[in-house]
Chains A and B, each alone.
Chain A
Amino acid sequence: MAFFVVQFLTGLASAASLFLVASGLSIIFGVTRIVNFAHGAFYMLGAYVAYTLTERFAGAFGFWGGIVAAAIVVAVIGAVVEIVLLRRIYHAPELFQLLATFGLTLMVEDLVVLTWGPNDLLGRRAPGFKGAVDFFGQSVPSYDLFLIVFGPVVLGILWLLFQRTRWGVLVRAATQDRDMVAALGVNQKWLFTSVFAVGVFLAALGGALQIPRDAVNHAMDLRVIVDVFVVVVIGGLGSILGAFVAAVLVSELNAFGILIFPKISIILVFLVMAVVLIVRPWGLFGKREAPARRTPGLTVNPWRPLTGSERLAACALLLCAAALPLVGGNYAVSVGSEIAIFVIFAISLHVLMAVGGLASFGHAAYFGLGAYGVAFLAKMAGLPMIACLLLGPLLGCVGAAVFGFFAVQLSGVYFAMLTLAFAQIVWSVAFQWVEVTGGDNGILSVWPERWAASPSHFYWLTLAIAALAAVGLRILVFSPFGFALRAMRDSPLRSEAIGINGKRIQWTAFVISGTVAGVAGALFAYLKGSVFPDSLGIPLSVDALVMVLLGGVETVSGGIIGAIVYKALNIWLVSQTDLSKLVLGAFIVLIVVAFPKGVVGMLEMIRHRHRDGTPKATSLIASRIETAE
């Protein structure tokens, strides 16, 4: 019995650490709608700065003062980031801020290694909380008890802050309806900055409080960020109490789950999230989101099919691309194949995001399923390459059909997080089911047959498929199905009123998108000759998002350019420097500031301005329609 009580307390201590970070993220998201990917980076910075301060200033005062000072220092950094970077892009398309914070995260990872060195750092133990308390023969670390008390205290302080201060009232109002708050004359700029700083403060405090039990290292950010997102979503976006309950739920399920299934930790949070979102689509304490007032379709230049001369130009570009093997060596051609594959992957997600308005955070699942489909068919069934390429993507199609059915019942960030949960579940199956998938050692020797083995032949094959996919998806965008999909994106209510079966349209789009991603994965398996669970993982899903956002989510074919720019740059930087993350992150941040509509989006805007010269008039009309919504 004593054991179960102690295990429960241990779970509570884990929950407290999780909650601190999650509460900050929840506040930031609630008010600014920024999916703050850099939250983990601030958590990590908090730990590093606290390490430095507590090493320098000894004693109880030095330790606790150092913890708080570290959180303040990082909060100031956060405020500066908000003022310098994020303020410029609040009006960019949805999720574009994700790109900026992703760039920041990449930079911070390299910067901490440059500043604090590559080794894991062992912080001091907390003065006064070094030992353990005996509880019926079981030891409970006193620091755990401190955290168990501290978590609810922070919850209480936040509650008071939100319920009893004017600032809190404004924050709650902005969480509910930030346009209305702005209309009532509240200075949104400083409200957002202060909210961001408070959120970052909590993240950094959470990180700083880890130093007595953790090793400070440069991978802390990624360890925490996904779990924290999941906790926020389970609790319901913007709900602090929800984040607390979710943190306790997840931590306790883990603490007791490992007693029965020791391998459960790897997937537990995602299982919980999938179940919660299917049962309660807005999280435990979340409320149904009010329909978005800004509809992206109205603010962009209207889409149109390519004109005859533009088609000729596209064909000419394709021919140029096809000439690559004549000038480049084997390496350049293989890189070309890889880029072509990622173009296919990016446009598959782009269709879902730009045309369907559905941002999938777990698109790698279908890419990876396609790759595994090929590997199974080639290695186990021994089918020829053509058959594998045709049938392999079907696994991606089936996966998309099953998961898409549940996912399209949701919208917005909840949709995104459910796709992420599904992707992680697929990943963990591939990772754990060693007998079939080889676990993380993967499936080897899936090389192309002789007719496609030479780099140039394989390149032409991938290029042809990429061109087919791009043309096919473009035709889809301008077909009646594409219009119905766009109608659902712009106004679900109106489109359902005119008889569009919205969910089915979205589901179909999801399946098409997943299948195309599967095609990319199938080609990728042959390009690399092997398949690993990485090709299902979160980093690849994030890469896809970055490519689409970089290209421009309000465009028809931004995914193509985004994929080419991001992948080419990534491959080149990784080859040239060990600090590729720093340079790539800085580049992304620059792009975000310079092209807040993505590369293609910006180019199109410039072209339009030249063509009709009346951007003001269109935006006026747009805003009038917006208010009518």
Chain B
Amino acid sequence: MRRSRFILSAGLAVILAGMANTAMAQSEIKIGEINSYSLLPAFTEPYRKGWQLAVEEINAAGGINGKKLVVISKDDSGKPADAQTAANELVSSENVAMLAGTFLSNIGLAVSDFANQKKVFFLAAEPLTDAITWSKGNRYTFRLRPSNYMQAAMLVEAAAKLPAKRWATIAPNYEYGQSAVAVFKKLMSEKRPDIQWVDEQWPPQGKIDAGPVVQAVAAANPEAILNVTFGADLVKLVREGNTRGLFKNRAVVSFLTGEPEYLDPLKDETPEGWIVTGYPWYDIKTPEHAAFLKAYQTKYNDYPRLGSIVGYETIKAAAAILTKAGSTDPEKLIAAAEGLKVSSPFGEITFRKIDHQSTLGAFVGKTALKDGKGVMVDSVYRNGADYLPSDAEVEKMRPKD
């Protein structure tokens, strides 16, 4: 008797829960988000804060066509295989409307290939590799951040004005470093055929033995240096370079170094006068950014990093796509996203129809020391749309659907 009642009530509970679930599901839209939270906390913590702020704002403004936006976030431990497991869980078990996120290029590519195979919409947030929109692009994948090519083109514009003719490069020995150097060299040599490349150093990512590298570059006696290292490698390189006088009377052009994630740890050892891409949050006076900055600082009592912008804008853009599509059907999402204009803290951006790349730009400026801390000065926003190759070239690189 007792047992049967128990079973009855348990059964009822299950049915009720199930009904509640479906009722919830109808009033919710889910986005599945994947990133390397445990491997790269320095980037992903601000990133997470950024997207959480965006979710809050979207739901406070009434959600997506009246439905509540929910982001389900998964860690990929920095491994492509784990990222695919997470993507599979999000799509199969959580029934998310779209996938978003990822940081590392190979993980972005793995998820993009998954999205293509399973016909799921994927908005890549951070991966910089050109392949994700060009040589290995597919119709289900869009990308937010300015690619390697775009950042290189922005830097080349400034670097070509330097008088230096002898150049050396230092880059981490993996795809990101290799393609950054390749694109920079190509674009630079087009603008300045008189340039000589006198040395290149390829320390393993995360394991630079900075002393010998600095010494080897110095021995080639370049007039200017291109740096692509970041994170702990950059700190070691800068420290050794400062001590050994590598940067004295030499121009340095450096990818990403102006981003607070990488500039702040350098503290009072920040080298001055490097030409960098980055995010000088303290210097951006546009109303869109001021609103974002105020909301972010009020909520977290901390300043934003570039990751915060990427996280915030990823979810804002995703919400705009979902709102315009008015459906979670991937084909409708693609149709909605192609050519979509979205506002961002950096100004309005467009998701290009031709290669699904957004026109989000970056700030180019110079590093400087202020009160014992590294900052970017003379920074100018470069609109991503102006630093992309011609449509004909893009079409040649991108496989046909």
Residues of A within 8 A of B (CB): 3, 6-7, 10-11, 13-14, 110, 113, 118-122, 131-132, 138-141, 143-144, 212-215, 217-220, 223, 227, 251, 254-255, 258-259, 262-263, 265-266, 329-332, 334-335, 338, 431-432, 434, 439-442, 444-445, 447, 455, 524, 528-530, 532, 534-535, 539, 571, 574-575, 577-581
Contact = CB atoms under 8 A, between A and B. Distances in A.
B86 A444 contact: no
Given A214-B236, A447-B117, A530 B80 contact: yes
Contact of B219 (A3, A122, A434, A578): A3
Given A141-B243, A440-B174, A532 B110 contact: yes
Nearest to B212: A255
Contact of A574 (B75, B200, B207, B232): B75
B75 A580 contact: yes
Interface residues of B, number: 68
Contacts of A213: 210, 236, 239-240
Given A442-B110, A530-B110, A534-B80, 9 more contacts: A122-B265, A131-B243, A212-B239, A227-B207, A258-B213, A262-B202, A332-B93, A440-B175, A524-B81
Nearest to A134: B245
B370 interface: no
Contacts of B269: 122
Contact of A528 (B44, B81, B218, B219): B81
A432 B93 CA distance: 37
B344 interface: no
Interface in B34-89: 37-39, 41-42, 44-45, 74-77, 79-82, 84-86, 88-89
B131 interface: yes
Interface of B: 37-39, 41-42, 44-45, 74-77, 79-82, 84-86, 88-89, 92-93, 105-106, 109-110, 113-114, 116-117, 129, 131, 136, 173-175, 178, 199-204, 206-207, 209-213, 215-216, 218-219, 231-232, 235-236, 239-240, 243-245, 264-267, 269
A218 B82 CA distance: 20
A254 B213 CA distance: 10
Given A441-B129, A528-B110, A580-B38, A334 B213 contact: no
Contacts of A334: 85, 88, 92
Contacts of A265: 173, 202-204, 207, 209
B200 A262 contact: yes
Nearest to B39: A219
B216 to A, nearest CB: 5
A11 B212 contact: yes
Contacts of A132: 243-245
Contacts of B206: 219, 223
Nearest to A213: B239
Contact of B175 (A118, A121, A139, A441): A441
B211 A534 contact: no
Contacts of B129: 441
Contacts of A214: 232, 235-236, 239
Contacts of A14: 209, 211-212
B244 A534 contact: no
Nearest to B171: A262
Contacts of B85: 334-335, 338, 571, 574-575
Which of A10, A220, A223, A254 has the most CB atoms of chain B within a 10 A radius of its CB?
A10
B184 to A, nearest CB: 16
A13 B129 CA distance: 36
Nearest to A431: B174
A195 B267 CA distance: 39
A442 B109 contact: yes
Given A118-B42, A334-B85, A441-B109, A258 B212 contact: yes
A530 B113 contact: yes
A416 B232 CA distance: 30
Contact of B216 (A223, A258, A581): A258
Which of A434, A441, A447, A532 has the most CB atoms of chain B within a 10 A radius of its CB?
A441
A215 B204 contact: no
A529 B41 contact: no
Contact of B106 (A122, A215, A220, A440): A440
A219 B232 contact: yes
Contacts of A444: 109-110, 113, 136
Nearest to A261: B202
A159 B260 CA distance: 47
B265 A121 contact: yes
A456 B260 CA distance: 47
Nearest to B94: A331
Contacts of A578: 37-38, 75
B41 A218 contact: yes
Nearest to B48: A578
Nearest to A535: B81
A204 B171 CA distance: 30
Contacts of B82: 574
A397 B110 CA distance: 27
11 contacts: A10-B211, A122-B267, A139-B245, A254-B209, A255-B212, A331-B93, A334-B88, A440-B106, A444-B110, A575-B75, A580-B38
B201 A262 contact: yes
B80 A575 contact: no
A384 to B, nearest CB: 18
A119 B240 CA distance: 20
A338 B86 CA distance: 13
A255 B45 CA distance: 36
A223 B207 contact: yes
Contacts of A335: 85
Nearest to B174: A440
A119 B93 contact: no
A329 to B, nearest CB: 6
Nearest to A214: B236
A265 B171 CA distance: 13
A118 B203 CA distance: 23
B182 to A, nearest CB: 10
A152 B327 CA distance: 70
A346 to B, nearest CB: 16
Contacts of A534: 79-81, 106
B77 A217 contact: no
A532 B74 contact: no
Nearest to A333: B92
B16 to A, nearest CB: 21
A259 B80 contact: no
B35 to A, nearest CB: 10
A258 B88 CA distance: 42
B216 A7 contact: yes
A258 B201 contact: yes
A138 B174 CA distance: 30
A263 B202 contact: yes
Contact of B80 (A227, A434, A528, A579): A528
A332 B86 CA distance: 12
A141 B202 contact: no
Given A258-B201, A532-B81, A118 B136 contact: no
